[in-house]
Structure 1
Amino acid sequence: LSEGTAEGLYTVEFPMKGENGGIGDATVTAALPLLTSWKTLTVGETLKPIVETTSACNGVEPQYEPSQHFAPGRSTWSWILWQDASCNYKDQQTFIDLAAVMGYEYILVDALWDKQIGYENMPSLIAYAQQKGVDVLLWYNSNGAWNDAPQGPKHRMDTAPARRKEMEWMKKLGVKGIKVDFFGGDKQTTMKLYEDILTDANHYGLFVNFHGTTLPRGWERMYPNHFTSEATLASENLVFSQDFADKEALVSTILPFTRNAVAAMDFGPVFFNRRFSKNDSYGNYRRTTDAFQVATAVLYQSPLQHFGITPNNLDEQPDYVLDFMKKVPVVWDETRFVDGYPGKFCVIARRAGDNWYIAATHADHQPKELKLSLPWLAGKQVKILYDKDDRTAGLRESTVDKKGNLTLRMQSLGGAVVYTD
C-alpha cells in the first residue's frame, strides 16, 4: 500500500525506486498470461473477523512439499537483553542451559557468532546443545550489494552457491533453522530472494524466520518451512528506546488487530527483568506488570517464540510463573476474539488441544476491570495469573459462572492469563 493521504485514502502501488539500495526494477516483469497475487480486505461489523481471519492463507497453495517435519517450539535468546557481547561461547552455553531447564526446544545464536565464536568452534557448541536436548538456530545477514549492515555472517545467503554450501554445512551439524535479517524492500528481485532462501532451506531441512522484512502474506501455507517473520517494530526496540518501552502495553493492544492478524509474528516477548538489560543497573525501564509479560506469550501468535527470559529469572520468579512458561504452547488449534479495541485493551482466547488460554492486556495508566464473556467455559474451573498489588504475578483459581462470565482486575499497564489444564 501507498502512504495514506490526509483524508486517509490508500492506493496499491509499486515499491519505491530507492528500495533495495536502488538495485532492481520498481516494476514487475512477467510473461503473459500474468497471474497476480490475491489482494484481500477483511471487513466486519465487529473486530472478531479481523482478529480471527485466515484470508491471507485461503487464496494460496503450497509451492512445494516439506522435505521433513519442521517442529515448532520455544527458544532462549541471549542477544535481546545481553546484546552483541553475549554472542560468545560461554554465554551461549549459559542460554543453552537455560533452554534445557525450561524444556525449550531451541536456542537462537544471534548475530556476530561467525567472529565472536568462530566457525571452527560451532561444531562443539552445537554438540553441547544437542547433548542437553536443545537444537540450534543460527542468525544470518541477507546481504548483497543493497545491504551494508556490518553484522555477520555476511554474504552467505544472497547467492545460490554460497547459500547451498552454508546450508549443507548446517545440515551436517544438525542445525534446525535460520533467522535471516536486513532485507532491502519489496521489489521483485527481493521477493525472489525470499523464495530462493526458503526453497533451498527446505531442501536442506531448515526452517526460516525472516527479520528486517516485508509482511508475509500467506507464506505459512505457501512455504511449509516458513515459520514466522518480524515485519513490525519488535521487542528489540524496548532495549533501544525508552519511549517504545513506555508504550509496550499500548503496542500490545494494536498488533493483534493489525500485523499479527495477517500472519505469524516474531515479536520476541516475555521479559521479567525490571530494566531491559542484562541487570537492573542500567537500561530502559519496564513499565508493565509481570502478568502482562506472561500474557504476551499467548497474545502474540508465532509457532516459533523467542522469549526474553534470562538465567536470573529462574531465581526471581515464583514456580507457578516458570511452570506456565515451561508449558505454554506455540501452536493453536483455535483462536477466538473475546473483547477489546485497538489502543485500549485486548482479550484473545486460544485453544491447544482441550486446554484454553485467554490472554488480556490493556494500555490504561489506571487499574482496569473487565467482565469477560466465556460461554464455552461456563461452570468450569480455571486458573488465573493476575496482577498483584506489587505488580508481580499471582496465581489463583476461580470458576466461570453459569452464564459464562468472569471478572478480571488488572493493575495499570497490566495483564492476566486465564487457563485450563
Structure 2
Amino acid sequence: MAVPIRTAVAGLCAGLLAALLTNAPAQAGQREEGAWTVSSAAHAPHARISLDDTTGTLSLSVTRAGRTVLEPSPLGIVTEQADLSQGLRFLHARNRTVDERYRAVSGKRLDRRAHMRETRLSFATAAGARLDLVVRAAADGVAYRYVLPSGYGDVLGEASAFRLPADADAWLSAYRVDNEGQFAEYTAATAPTRTYADQALFATPGGYTLLAESGLTGSYSGARLAHTQGTGTYRIQLADERVHTEGRSATPWRAMITGDLATVTRSTFTDDLAPASEVADRSWIRPGTVLWTWLAGGRTAGQSLAAQKAYVDYAAERGWPYEAVDSGWYFKKDEWDVTDPDWQTTSWMPELVRYARARGVEIIVWIHQRDLDTPAERAQWLPTLERWGAKGVKIDFMNSETQSMLQWYDTILPETAAHHLMVDFHGSTIPKGIQRTWPHVMTLEGVGGEEKRTNTAAHLTTLPFTRNVIGSMDFTPGAFQRVGLRPNSDAAEVGLTVAYESGLQMLAGTPESYDERPLARAFLDQLPAAWDDTRLLAGRPGREAVLARRSGDRWFLGGVYTGTARTAEVPLSLGPGRWLVETVQDGTGGLVQNRQVRRDGDTLTVAVADNGGFAALACPWRPGVNTCYR
C-alpha cells in the first residue's frame, strides 16, 4: 500500500529532527533543577554546576564520555565584606560561544583555534552581595573563574577545591617557590599531606586530567594545591593571606585539561583561556637554538670576554642563532660610575654583541631580578641592553608567586616588549597563559631542570605530561658533559631537545662534549626554531614519553624511558605514505645511527639503553632519498 507523500515527508522530518537532537552538541548553560551543564560537544567534557538549596553552596563536577573526571567539588570565595561560599541564591544565566583563532610564535603548534562554550551564572547572598561564576568548556578542558563587583574588599581565600577519585594515579610535585620540585607518583588519596604545584596530573576514569591555572596577573595571587593524606581533595591555597582588590575584579582561571593522554599532551587550553597578544609588531620575536654557557663554563666564563667570543665562534660554526651569557658578566658593575652618561662603555658586552652579530649570532644576557625591581633600575638597564643590541634577557630569582611579585611581572612584561627584548624567566612562575598575551616570553624555567643533580629518570618522563603541557619549559637539555650527574643516557639527552618544548632551546653542553658526539651535534644542527604540530606517539608518565614535532614536511621525534635496556616499539602516526626515519640511539661504543623506511601506522623499533631514549628525524621517503638531514 502506498504511503501518502505528506505522511512520508512528515516522518522523514521527524526522523531527521530526532537524529539532529541525538547528535547535537550539548549547549552551554543547560539547566536542570538546581544545576547547569556546560559542554562544547556531546563527546567533550561536561561541567555540571550545582546549587544546594539548603546551604546555598556551589559545587562543580566534570564528566567525559559518561565517566567521572572530577567529583562534585566546592566553589566559592571569601572577601573582607562578603562570604560568597555559602548562602547563595541563583539570579540569572548568560551563555555565549568563544571562538578565536590566533597565531603563536612558539609552542606546540603555531596556528591555533580556541573554541569554547561559556556560561556566566550570577548569584547573590541574602544581604545582596553578588558573585558571578564564569564556566568555560572546550574539547580538551573545563575552566572557571569568579568575577566580583567593586567594594567587597580584599580576598581572604577561596573555597575552591578539586575532588579526584581517591584511587586515581597521581603525578605531583611538592610546591616550591621556584617551581623546581621533582614529580613523583602516588594515588590521589595516598599522596602525603603537604602543598603541591598546581600542575598536577591524575589518571581519571577514561583518561587523564591535568590541573592548571591561566590568566594569572598582579591583580591576584598565585595558587598551590593543599592536600591532606587519605582524601582525594586538593584545595586552592593562595600565596598571600590577603589579596588586595581595586574595583571590579576577576580571579585567574581554575582549569582542568582532560582527555586521553595524547589530548592532554597536545593541549593549548591554558593559552586559549588567556587574553590575546599585547604585542602588535612581533617581527623581532624569533625562537631558536641557544648555546647556553653556564654549565659549560660557569661564572668564570661569564666574566671572560675571550671565553664568550669562543662560544660565539662555536655557535656561528654550528649555525645556532643565539649565545647566552649567564651570571658573572656584570658582577663588577658597582665599580661603574652610573652617574656618568657613558657608564655603559666600561662593559665589554657591546663589543661581544658586535663581534657576535658580525658572525650571524645574537646575544642573550642574564640579569638578576633584584637589579630590575625598581623603575630607576629598569630605566637604567633595559634601554642600555637594547642600545647594545642584545636580543634577549634571562631574568632570574623571582622565587615568588605573591601578588607583589606578580605585579612586578605586569610591569616588566610591557617594558621588555617596548625595548624589543625577548625574555627567559628563571626562578619563576610557570607560563599560565603568559606566552599568548606576551609572546616575547620565549620560555620559563619553573622546572627541576638539567642543573639539578638529583633528577630521576621517572621525573624526566613525567615532564612532557605535566609542566611542559602548560607552556615552554627551559629545562636546558644537552648537558652531555654531566656524565654521572644526570640519570639518562646520551641518546635520551638528545631526545630531550624534542620531547621538551621551549621557544629558546638552551643547549647546556660544552663545545667539546658536542664534538665528541658528532651524531648528537648533527641532530642539534637540524633543530627548527618553532613547531607546526605536536603529537604524542607513546607514553605513560614516569615510564616513557615519545613525542613527534613537525616542522614543514619533516617530523622530529624524541623519546625518553625508564628502566632496563630493551627494544622499544613506537607506533608511527606521521601522515600517509612511506617515511624515512633516521634514529640516533645508544650503541656499545657511543651513539649510533639507524635508518628505517616505515609506512604510517607501522611500528618503529629502537634499541634503548638503561634509562635511555632516542632522537629521530623523519621525512617523506621516495626513491633516491637517503637522508632527512639538510
Q: Could you state the TM-score of these two structures normalised by the residue count of structure 2?
A: 0.58
1:378: Cα distance to partner? 4.9
1:401: Cα distance to partner? 4.0
Which residue of 37, 45, 53 corresponds with 2:267?
53
Q: Which residue matches 2:363?
A: 136
Quick one: structure 1 residues 358 and 378, their matched pair in 2 at CA, closer, same or farther if it must change by over 3 Å?
A: farther
CA contact (8 A) 1:301 1:330 kept: no
Amino acid at match of 2:311: F
1:377: Cα distance to partner? 5.5
Q: Would you say 1:270 and 2:478 are equivalent positions?
A: yes
1:250: Cα distance to partner? 2.3
1:123: Cα distance to partner? 1.5
Which residue of 327, 345, 348 corresponds with 1:111?
327
- CA-atom RMSD in angstroms: 2.0
Q: Which residue matches 2:291?
A: 76
CA contact (8 A) 2:584 2:594 kept: yes
Amino acid at match of 1:103: G
Amino acid at match of 1:263: G
CA contact (8 A) 1:376 1:404 kept: no
Measured in 2, the distance between the counterparts of 1:299 and 1:402 equals 20
Measured in 2, the distance between the counterparts of 1:85 and 1:178 equals 19
Q: Which residue matches 1:20?
A: none
CA contact (8 A) 1:67 1:203 kept: no
Q: Which residue matches 2:353?
A: 126
Moved beyond 3 Å, runs of 4+ = 116-119, 284-287
Q: Which residue matches 1:100?
A: 316
User: Which deviations, in whole Å up to 9, do the C-alpha atoms of 1:263-318 show, x marking residues without a partner?
Assistant: 1101100122253xxxxxxxx44443221111011011011011022121353122
Bigger strand fraction = 2
3-state SS in 2 of match to 1:13: strand
Q: Which residue matches 1:177?
A: 392
Q: Could you state the TM-score of these two structures normalised by the residue count of structure 1?
A: 0.86
Quick one: structure 1 residues 138 and 37, their matched pair in 2 at CA, closer, same or farther if it must change by over 3 Å?
A: same
Q: Would you say 1:168 and 2:360 are equivalent positions?
A: no
Q: Would you say 1:258 and 2:458 are equivalent positions?
A: no
1:161: Cα distance to partner? 2.5
CA contact (8 A) 2:226 2:236 kept: no
Return 5+ residue gaps in structure 2 as ranges: 1-223, 337-345, 619-627
Quick one: structure 1 residues 186 and 5, their matched pair in 2 at CA, closer, same or farther if it must change by over 3 Å?
A: same
Q: Would you say 1:10 and 2:226 are equivalent positions?
A: no
1:228: Cα distance to partner? 0.8
Return 5+ residue gaps in structure 1 as ranges: 17-25, 144-154, 276-283
Q: Which residue matches 2:253?
A: 38
User: Which deviations, in whole Å up to 9, do the C-alpha atoms of 1:145-201 show, x marking residues without a partner?
Assistant: xxxxxxxxxx2x101222022111111111111011111411111111112111100
Q: Which residue matches 2:145?
A: none
1:402: Cα distance to partner? 6.3
Quick one: structure 1 residues 402 and 287, their matched pair in 2 at CA, closer, same or farther if it must change by over 3 Å?
A: closer
1:51: Cα distance to partner? 0.4
3-state SS in 2 of match to 1:80: helix
Q: Which residue matches 2:617?
A: 419
Measured in 2, the distance between the counterparts of 1:375 and 1:67 equals 33
Quick one: structure 1 residues 405 and 378, their matched pair in 2 at CA, closer, same or farther if it must change by over 3 Å?
A: farther
3-state SS in 1 of match to 2:531: coil
Measured in 2, the distance between the counterparts of 1:2 and 1:161 equals 36
CA contact (8 A) 1:377 1:400 kept: no
Measured in 1, the distance between the counterparts of 2:359 and 2:434 equals 32
Q: Would you say 1:298 and 2:498 are equivalent positions?
A: yes
CA contact (8 A) 2:514 2:520 kept: no
3-state SS in 2 of match to 1:387: strand
- How many residues are aligned here? 382
